[in-house]
Amino acid sequence: MAEPRFRRDGAWVGASVPRREDPRLLAGRGRFVDDITLPGMLHAQFVRSTEAHARLLAVDLDEVRAVPGVVAAYTAADLDLADITALLDRPAHEFVPTAMPVLARDTVRYVGEPVAVVVAKDPYAAEDGVEAAVVEYAPLEPVVSDLGALAEGAPLVHAGAPRNTLVDVSLFATEGIDDVFSEAHTVVEVRTKTGRQNALPLETRGVVADWDDRDEQLRVQTCSQVPHQVRTVLARCVGLDEKQVRVTVPDMGGGFGQKCVVGREEIAAAAAALRLRRPVKWIEDRRDALTAAFLAREQRYTVRAAFSADGEILGLDADVVCDMGAYSCYPFTAGIEPLMASAEMPGVYRVPAYRVRGRAVTTNKAPTAPYRGVSRPQYVMVVERVFEKAARALGIDAVELRRRNLITVFPYTGVNNITYDPGSYLESLDLCEKTLRDEGWFSRRSDENRVIGIGFACFSERTGYGSGAFAQRKMQVVPGFDISEIRMDLNGTVSVTTGTLSHGQSHETTMAQIVADRLGVPYDRVKIVQGDTDRITYGWGSFASRSITIGGSAVAAASVKLGDQLREIAAHLLGGDVESAVLEDGGVRVGSSWLSYADIADVAYLKAHLLPKGVGPGLAATASFDVGGDGTFSNATHGCVVELDPGTGGVEILRYVCVEDCGVAIHPQVVEGQARGGIAQGIAGALFEEVRYDDAGQPLAPSFMEYKVPTAREIPDVRIEHLETPCAFTENGAKGAGEGGTIGAPAAVLNAVNDALRHTGVELDDTPIPREAIFRALEVS
């Protein structure tokens, strides 16, 4: 792969070219937030609540200010910042907003909530200062579970949220659905609880902020997936205009959703920098990252499904409760998980009747943010368990039962009012099953001396939510579009902006490939500009598998516009007709004549008098892109083979196969990397990771000793097979590829474990799967 592999003649899209990001990252010459040092820079750390729920009686920082090396220490009252509030356009019975103060003001609502910020000459002194703070609490009874939150007479986390409920929506409710259930041949029920997880970017959150007198700007360098949204919230909190804040994003060590919301600490650190007129750096340490950062995924499902005797699914009736912790995140709100689950649950199956109630409850735990897949890993797991249970009840092979119910005719408009664009739902299932069969896993499964199970997961994933799709969620700020500005410089090199930004996804490479194809220049002549609110008109950042679908489309559209400009100028200079001008070999051909881009740029910048009438100087274009309709759906089938150890309850994944279809893969190696990494995170959720709390709301996983991130020993090699159903309405035929791996893995793993337990009569539906439960199931048998 040192040499680019071309997919088709001359095309960059589809080639696994060397990544532009690699040389600096491999040489240790990347620039992450903590690598930035500014003259006179100070270091912030936070005094954090040690109580899960309490009135804040007093915060005494006098001793803190006396600690050697401490420069300043501030409480909420000292900084006087506006709260962070995220809104949905929904009525009060469906949505209750929360005001998240930058520093806790009168109440603390989770252990780890920032109470005061300490600024010191180095991070060691900052921690010395934090230790010296004296905080007086009047403890209140904590709410530490979803059931506790909903219980009659439960203490309230927010006075304005009765029954601790922030979101409560009932959707769809197909007419006659109760009759469907009462008349059905078979009804199965799945009850599932999934563990709270941490998205866990290996680089923790962080910021360097300083006030620049010359630019009259607060310059904020932070590892955020959403720099423009950080700018808006920061400007609002500290009382500056948007143009007085510049947010840039350096190299970023992963995000996975945790960094696509606006945090409190970066605002507090920036406010301190503003007040002190000195650069302030805050780097979250791992203990805080594990206990006080945004979390995700703690959900409870009660789902019933009705089936006919021959295995046709007739209805789905679901209740979803998501434990969103102490506050709504900006901009998505606490609705992110229940609304995703409610809208999308029928998934790849032809479900004729559907009813769902989705709720977000608030508890005294660290708040939540979107995390790779957002609810889809959970509801896909639940629906795939539904099919496994129904298959057993009906005596039909589970794969065959799926085949009978998969959507096969596209476009398909579901009971959830979503129109699915074409995909390879059935083909991916067939290929996945065949692959495992050909590899001999089904015969190994029958070995009576071993406890082996095979599990599948079928799913599709809406990627590239456009403004319309997000508007359906009724967010008050509606993400969706992307804007790209492209410019060609004197020697014919190209720079192009994207409002998305890479934190591992390789935009510098893949976006350049897209431009390279549109303009006919090598991809290393294209520079991608990302993550800078001053240089990018507006952007929604990278999340929800939107970068290539939406950002890549905007980049392509801008490239085409620039190409048109180049053609127009060249046609004029060569005395030909614009219609006959074509981009070719790094220049424009008009009939038998050819002008290089450098020659055209020469005219556009240095000899503007030669330009055609009506064409201004310079070579630049702007284009935007939005996904109309319901977006585009990637799909995949995952197959997993596990072996259980009856002596310990241990689980080993013997084989993992992923058959995925994300339309046109811009860079197949990158797509595979996304799939593998996603699968690893899905396995982590199924088998290893959980953020637990005790009854007092104290977090029980403050280190990597307790929060068990799987290693190379636990994560298997993954065989990936590609199918390609190009998307008809994105510019490159691409669909999103960022989240699918994570979505399919929990279902495949859980189904495989249950398949291995098939002789025991025990079914396990909660994650992470307790090894003790496996041990006990096998012990009895």
Partner 1 sequence: MIQLVELVVNGERHDLAIEPRRTLVDVLRHDLGLTGTHVGCEHGICGACTVLVDGAPARACLIFAAQVEGAEIRTVESLAAPDGTLNDLQQCFSEHHGLQCGFCTPGMLMLAEGYLAEEPEPTTEEIRDVVASNLCRCTGYQTIVEAIDDCATRRRAAFQDRLDRSAS
Partner 2 sequence: MKPAAFEYHRARSVAGAVGLLTELGDEAKVVAGGQSLVAMMNFRLARPEHLVDITHIDGLAEIRREGDTLRVGALTTHRTVEKAELGDFAVLSRAMRWVGHLPIRTRGTVGGSIAHADATAEWCLLAVLLEARIVAEGPAGRREIPAEEFFLGPFTTALEPDELIVELVFPHPAPRAALTEYADRKGDFALVAAAVDLDTDRIVLGGVGPVPTVVRGGWSSGAASRARAAAAADSLDLRDEPGISAHYRRGLVRTLVERAYEEAARG
Q: Which is nearer to partner 2, 150 or 709 (CB)?
A: 709
Helix axes 376-394, 398-405, angle to 10 degrees: 110
Q: Which is nearer to partner 2, 288 or 660 (CB)?
A: 288
Q: Please choose, out of 295-303, 377-385, 655-663, 705-713, the segment that lies near partner 2 by the rule CB under 8 A.
A: 705-713
Q: Please choose, out of 96-104, 381-389, 608-616, 711-719, the segment that lies near partner 2 by the rule CB under 8 A.
A: 711-719
* DSSP notation for 130-160: HHT-EEEEEE-----SHHHHHSTTPPPSSTT
Min separation Cβ 645 and partner 2, Å? 8
Say how far apart CA 225 and CA 249 lie, in whole Å: 8
Q: Which of 123, 531, 541, 563 binds partner 2 (CB under 8 A)?
A: 123
Q: Which of 121, 287, 450, 527 binds partner 2 (CB under 8 A)?
A: 287
Strand ranges in 682-733 using DSSP code E only, listed in sequence order: 719-723
Q: Tell me if 652 contacts partner 2 by CB under 8 A.
A: no
Q: Which is nearer to partner 2, 242 or 779 (CB)?
A: 779
Min separation Cβ 2 and partner 1, Å? 6
Q: To which H or E segment does residue 53 belong?
A: none
3-class DSSP assignment, residue 504? coil
Q: Which of 185, 286, 676, 722 binds partner 2 (CB under 8 A)?
A: 286
Length of the chain: 781
Q: Tell me if 46 contacts partner 2 by CB under 8 A.
A: no
Bridge partners (DSSP) of residue 412 are 420
Contact yes or no for 507/539 (Cβ under 8 A): no
Min separation Cβ 713 and partner 2, Å? 4
Q: Tell me if 710 contacts partner 2 by CB under 8 A.
A: yes
Amino acid identity, position 263: G
Contact yes or no for 370/543 (Cβ under 8 A): yes
Given the DSSP bridges, would you call strands 134-139 and 186-194 parallel, antiparallel or unpaired? Answer: unpaired
Residues that bind partner 1 (CB under 8 A): 1-2, 16, 18-19, 21-23, 25-32, 34-35, 37, 123-124, 200-204, 251-254, 256, 283, 285-286, 503-506, 669-670, 672-673, 676-681, 703-705, 709, 711-715, 717-718, 741
3-class DSSP assignment, residue 548? helix
Min separation Cβ 201 and partner 2, Å? 17
DSSP one-letter code for 388: H
Min separation Cβ 127 and partner 2, Å? 5
355 contacts: CB under 8 Å, gap ≥ 6 = 170, 171, 172, 173, 174, 177, 315, 316, 317, 318
Alpha-carbon dihedral angle through residues 461, 463, 469, 470, given to the nearest 10 degrees = 110
Say how far apart CA 147 and CA 632 lie, in whole Å: 36
Structure tokens at 111: 């252990």
Which among partner 2, partner 1, none contacts residue 503 (Cβ within 5 to 8 A by kind)? Answer: partner 1
Min separation Cβ 69 and partner 2, Å? 10
Say how far apart CA 263 and CA 223 lie, in whole Å: 11
Min separation Cβ 695 and partner 2, Å? 10
Min separation Cβ 46 and partner 2, Å? 13
Say how far apart CA 33 and CA 266 lie, in whole Å: 12
Min separation Cβ 669 and partner 1, Å? 5
Which among partner 1, partner 2, none contacts residue 131 (Cβ within 5 to 8 A by kind)? Answer: partner 2
Say how far apart CA 157 and CA 301 lie, in whole Å: 22
Say how far apart CA 495 and CA 139 lie, in whole Å: 56
Q: Which is nearer to partner 2, 125 or 583 (CB)?
A: 125
Q: Tell me if 654 contacts partner 2 by CB under 8 A.
A: no
Which among partner 2, partner 1, none contacts residue 62 (Cβ within 5 to 8 A by kind)? Answer: none
Min separation Cβ 702 and partner 2, Å? 8
Structure tokens at 259: 């960094």
Say how far apart CA 420 and CA 415 lie, in whole Å: 11
Picking from 244, 254, 183, 241, the residue whose alpha carbon sits closest to that of residue 213 is 244
Q: Which of 39, 91, 647, 761 binds partner 2 (CB under 8 A)?
A: 647
Q: To which H or E segment does residue 584 belong?
A: strand 581-584
Q: Please choose, out of 127-135, 243-251, 661-669, 742-750, the segment that lies near partner 2 by the rule CB under 8 A.
A: 127-135
Q: Tell me if 189 contacts partner 2 by CB under 8 A.
A: no
Residues 757-776 within binding reach of partner 2 (CB under 8 A): 771-772, 775-776
The 72-111 contact track toward partner 2, x by CB under 8 A, reads ----------------------------------------
9 contacts: CB under 8 Å, gap ≥ 6 = none
Say how far apart CA 136 and CA 507 lie, in whole Å: 48
Q: Please choose, out of 124-132, 264-272, 467-475, 734-742, the segment that lies near partner 2 by the rule CB under 8 A.
A: 124-132
Q: Which is nearer to partner 1, 168 or 672 (CB)?
A: 672
Q: Which is nearer to partner 1, 166 or 675 (CB)?
A: 675
Say how far apart CA 479 and CA 465 lie, in whole Å: 8
Which among partner 2, partner 1, none contacts residue 538 (Cβ within 5 to 8 A by kind)? Answer: none
Residues at the interface with partner 2 (CB under 8 A): 123-124, 127-128, 131, 285-287, 647-650, 687-688, 694, 703, 705, 708, 710-711, 713-714, 771-772, 775-776, 779
